[in-house]
Every structure is written in structure tokens, then in C-alpha cells.
Structure 1
Amino acid sequence: MGADVTVLSQTSSKRADALGFGAVAHHATSDPAVFDRLARSFDLIVNTVSASLDFDAYLGLLDFGGTMVNVGAPPEPAPVTLFTLFTNQRSFAGSTIGGIAETQEMLNFCAEHGIVPEVETIRADQVNDAWERVLKSDVRYRFVIDASTLKGPSGATPA
């Protein structure tokens, strides 16, 4: 769509993946110097993380008139210092996944541009192991359960 994408991630473990997916840069936010180095660098930040973050630090990465859109849902209220928004006329917004029309538009866009998800298919009997891997952050990038391995109420595999 013409954007230069930069990935901000807590560690460098996904750097090669980010660049392979088309990002022009990757920065590990566990290094506090990253926030100083990238201050006022971005027009848009799309936050997909559902964990607590220092939102003020990320808002400081926005340039004049920049917007941070949060699509992840942290478990607790997110504190934001309003002065961070006032400086440089920044905005902080939220968005859900959208309705059927928006979802279809996104799927059409992906189909037209050959965008497919990176998934790891597992059998139903691997769910507990997959959950342990989620807790260890050892997932690239989503698990998908092979429905043919599910057992019905009688213990038989559904047809």
C-alpha cells in the first residue's frame, strides 16, 4: 500500500521474519535507547499487543499529527499522560476487528495481493503442548487445529 513498515518488537528474535515479510526495519524495544533514537519517527503505529505497555513511550515515537491505533486489548486499564497527546497533536485510537463487510474487504485485499498467514497446523491432541509453547512465546505465528483430528462426543472422528 506504499507504506514503509517498521516492526517494533520486545526482542530481536523475530527480526529475520519481520524483514522477510517486507518490513524495512526492525527494532527491539527492550533497549531503552530505541525510544530516544526513534522519537517522532512514525506517522502511524498499529499496536497489536494485548499486554500492558508504556503507552506514553510509544506515543513519543509519533511525529506531528501521528496516530497510534490499539487493536490489542490489555487486561488492565492503559494509563496515558494526556500531555503526550497534546505535544505534536498526536492521537490515540482503538479499533476492533470490524464487522462482516470489513472482514470481507480485508480478505479480498489479501487474496488480491497474495497475503497469507504464517501458521503451524497441529492435531487436536497437541493443544496442551501448543498452550505451553504459547506461554513460552515459542509460536511462529498462530496455531491452527486440524479439524479432522477432533473427536466427536462418541469418541469418533466427525465425518
Structure 2
Amino acid sequence: MLVNDGREPIARTPFLRAVSLATGDVLRDKVFRVAELAPSERRVVGSLDLGGLDPTTTVLCAATEGPEVAWTLLCEPKEIEVSAAAVRARSIGSERVLLEPATPLVDARVTAGTARLSPRTFTLLAGSLEVRADSPLEDLRLRSVAGSHEIDWS
């Protein structure tokens, strides 16, 4: 479903992608024709066959061009069958850290002692993420739907 909540017409190129939670590999991918929506319009713009995919190890992503990605699990979170892989972390000064997971992090939450973090909760399907704190980072911890992740500072 593509939604235009704005006051101006929009034209977007939507896509759907099934991604492995275990490896980050794209299992299915479909890009749709440009969809033009009037203000306050919402429309189903396409579908993706998920037959044969393991719902306990797959996440479905929907997006258009840009950084915003909507996602949904294909099963209940408690049914996920992937382990929480270690996440590489690199310090960028005393109040910033770059997280570089090898696999997707879905519905993740990061904590660091009493520091306030931004972002504190996120979903990262690929790439890296910089986390900023209001004080020096201590005792960094990360948990996602896969469980608690070990932090690898190497």
C-alpha cells in the first residue's frame, strides 16, 4: 500500500524485497512501475510471491526511493529461528559508535549505561549505523528480535 499523506501529488517507484534474517541476502525482489498518487490517496501498487520462503528467517521490506523502509516479519517474533550474530562496533570519539552488523538487525534496541542514545531503537537491514550519545559510551549492549548480540570491538 502506497500512501500520500501530503498536500501535493507524488510520483514514486515502489519496491518489495524479501531479505534473509540469517545472512542479509535478498531472496526476492520486485520493483514496480512509477505510481502517481493525488493528495490523501492510498493504493495497492503491487505484490510479491513469498511462496517457498521460510517465514521464521525472512523479513519483508517495502520502500520507495530514499532511506525510509517499512518492514514486517512473516511470523511471530518468538518464532524467529536465527541466532543473534556478533555486531562489529567502532568508536568515533567517546560519544559516538559505528555499528556494522553482518546480518540484518530487526527491531533492535541499543543501550549504554546511563547515556541517552540516538537512535536508541532501529531496524537496519543492510549497511552501518552511527549511534550518538549525550555522554561517554560505557557498557554498550544490543538486542534485536534475534536476541542479545555480542559487541565485537576489534
- TM-score normalised per structure 2: 0.25
Question: Whose strand fraction is larger, Structure 1's or Structure 2's?
Answer: 2
Larger radius of gyration: 1
Q: Specify which structure has the bigger relative contact order, considering alpha-carbon pairs within 8 angstroms and separated by 6 or more residues.
A: 2
**Greater helix proportion:** 1
